[in-house]
Structure formats: C-alpha cells, structure tokens
Amino acid sequence: MQIERLADPDADADIDAIVALESASFTNPWSRETLVWELRNSDVTRAYVLRDADGRVAAFCVCWVIFDELHINTLAVDPAARRRGMASALLRHVLADAAAAGATKATLEVRASNAAALGLYERLGFRVAGTRPRYYARPEEDALLLWRDGLSATAADASP
C-alpha cells in the first residue's frame, strides 16, 4: 500500500478512479465536476489516495483542513478490497497530516445505519456528538455527527 496526497487536479486517471469509487460506494456521489472544482479552487481541500500493490487507487479521502479542524467530506474503499485495513491506514495518514498542518480536532458525518464505518471511526477515537435529521437522501436517513479531539497525538499512531 502507498498513500499519497493528490497534488494535480488534472490527473485524469486518479480523478476517474476517485469518481468511480465514489459512485460504487454512495447513493449520492460527488460528481467529477465537483471534485475537480474543489481541487482547483479551494485552498482548504485535500485529496488522498491509497494505491494497491499494482498502483491502482483502492481508496481515497477528500477533506478540508480549516484552521484547527479537519473536516472529512468523503472516504471510500473499493468494494472488492474492503475489510483489509485500507480505510484505517488511510485515515491514520490523513489525521497525522492534518495534525502536522495544525489541526487539533476532526469531524465528519456518517449514515446512522453504516455500522462498518461507525466501528472504524470509533476505533480511531471519534465519538458521536449529535444527529443531523434527514441529512442523507436516497434513502432518506439521519447522519450522525462525529468528532475527535486531540489530533496532536495522532502522529505517534499514524503508521498503517
């Protein structure tokens, strides 16, 4: 596994791979246009990819680092590669990188029914802080708002 921050918003193969994973993972995926706009126009947006042994994008995370907060916007792992620790490795890397940039806390929303994601986030120190009623569409569902404090300690446990 290799994790890297996507630096080129015009890296078509990587953008296409992210969009494909997003579409395979979510009922309301980000469009290619939204992703490219974020990467080209936002100074807070970061995208990370995890490559498998063959160099293919097997997982990705798009987030914002705003002042002292990391906002995880979207994260997905190739359905054929799930339950192999890729999301944990990727998130540990993202958390450590955000901590190095000055973030001290992290937040995200997750579907209330997504038990696998909730387990992952709880193992990484996130806690439920609230609910956003009917946040998701297709199907309509509440989001759980998760927070994690203390990112400065993340660097020590960031290795995949």
What are 88-137's pLDDT values in tens digits? 999 999 999 999 999 999 999 999 999 999 999 999 999 999 999 998 88
Count up the domains in the chain and report the number.
1
- The domain in which residue 49 lies consists of 2-157
CA angle 22/126/23 to nearest 5° reads 5
The CATH number covering residue 139 comes to 3.40.630.30
> Is 152 a residue whose pLDDT tops 60?
yes
Which one of the listed residues 121, 122, 140, 141 is annotated catalytic? 121
Rounded to two decimals, the pTM is: 0.90
Q: What is the mean pLDDT of the chain?
A: 91
Cα gap 22→25, rounded to integer Å: 5
* CA contacts within 13 A on the Cβ side of 117: 19
What are 40-63's pLDDT values in tens digits? 999 999 999 999 999 999 999 999
Q: Within a 10 A sphere around the Cβ of 121, how many other Cβ atoms? A: 24
DSSP 23: H
Active-site residue flag, 48: no
Cα gap 92→16, rounded to integer Å: 24
Residue 91, helix vs strand vs coil: helix
- Rg of the Cα trace of the chain? 15
Active-site residue flag, 121: yes
Contact (Cβ atoms closer than 8 angstroms) between residue 88 and residue 124: yes
